[in-house]
Amino acid sequence: MSVGAERHILILGGTTEARRLAAALAGEPALRVTSSLAGRVAAPRLPAGQVRIGGFGGPEGLARWLREQHVDALIDATHPFADTISSNAARAAAEAQVPLLAVRRPGWTAGPGDDWRPVGSLAEAAEALSGLGNRVFLTTGRMGLAAFAHLENMWFLVRSVDAPSPPMPPRTEILLARGPFTVDGERELLRRHRVDVLVTKDSGAAATAAKLTAAREAGIPVVVVRRPPLPAGVPTVAAPEEAAAWLRGTGAV
């Protein structure tokens, strides 16, 4: 779709994998790389290449952007729980007839000594807390706290990059922090706040996995929200290097 020799790659990003892919492609000759960030983080880590911030206006808007900007390939390297943009990407790529690939880091796997309670949503996570503990370390991000707002008898430590907005549980302490986190730091956090249950999403990645090790060592149950499925038929790889190889195979690079 590109005009002339230049090839245009759009990366739907905001993740470590997206930044690594943008950095790997930035040195490719005759290649234009644009990374799109949703704009939900106030001070995002910017990738190499061109960057746009903000939504497209649904799948129709994204399809129009792909055509207008002569995009040759679309890479969905968003967060594993960004299911709306992944769905929009699949629909837009089909409409604009642009090759699409998803990059998804592997999820976490429970090991010996882990006490994990898998659930399908934040609402199910809130229901699962009954009987597990009263001092909750909530690491699901600043979105979706409304699912826990009715739990008036529990205390929550909510960690996020940016400050969350109401509604949220009435007994909440906000901790603004950005990973990577260390096991020693997570051990101290659990001890200092007397945490007795952890709630997290299965986002994968090593940057935020230390809390799982600390919870295992402390014998703390972990409520783990499962990932939403990717749209049917979207090819998927686990690493940016595989995405670069796929791009070369499509002829986009």
Sorted by where each starts, the structural domains of the chain and their CATH numbers stand as 7-106+229-250 (3.40.50.720), 116-225 (3.40.50)
Rounded to whole angstroms, the Cα distance separating 18 from 190 reads 31
CA-to-CA dists, residue 89 to 8, 58, 59, 127, 235, angstroms: 16, 9, 6, 32, 12
- The whole-number pLDDT of residue 160 equals 94
For tokens 């007839």, the residue is 97
Q: How much of the chain exceeds pLDDT 70, in percent?
A: 96
Q: How much of the chain exceeds pLDDT 90, in percent?
A: 83
Using 50, 70 and 90 to split pLDDT, how confident is the model at 4? Answer: low
Beta carbons within 8 Å of 103's beta carbon, 6+ residues apart: 17, 18, 21, 75, 76, 77, 236, 237, 238, 239, 240, 242, 243
Asked if pLDDT for residue 252 goes beyond 70, the answer is no
Give per-residue pLDDT as tens, 190-229: 999 999 999 999 999 787 899 999 999 999 999 999 999 9
Candidates 73, 11, 16; CA nearest to 209 is: 16
Helices (H), the chain: 16-26, 58-68, 83-96, 122-128, 183-192, 210-218, 240-250
**% helix, strand, coil for the chain, step of 5:** 30, 20, 45
Asked if pLDDT for residue 253 goes beyond 70, the answer is no
Asked if pLDDT for residue 42 goes beyond 80, the answer is no
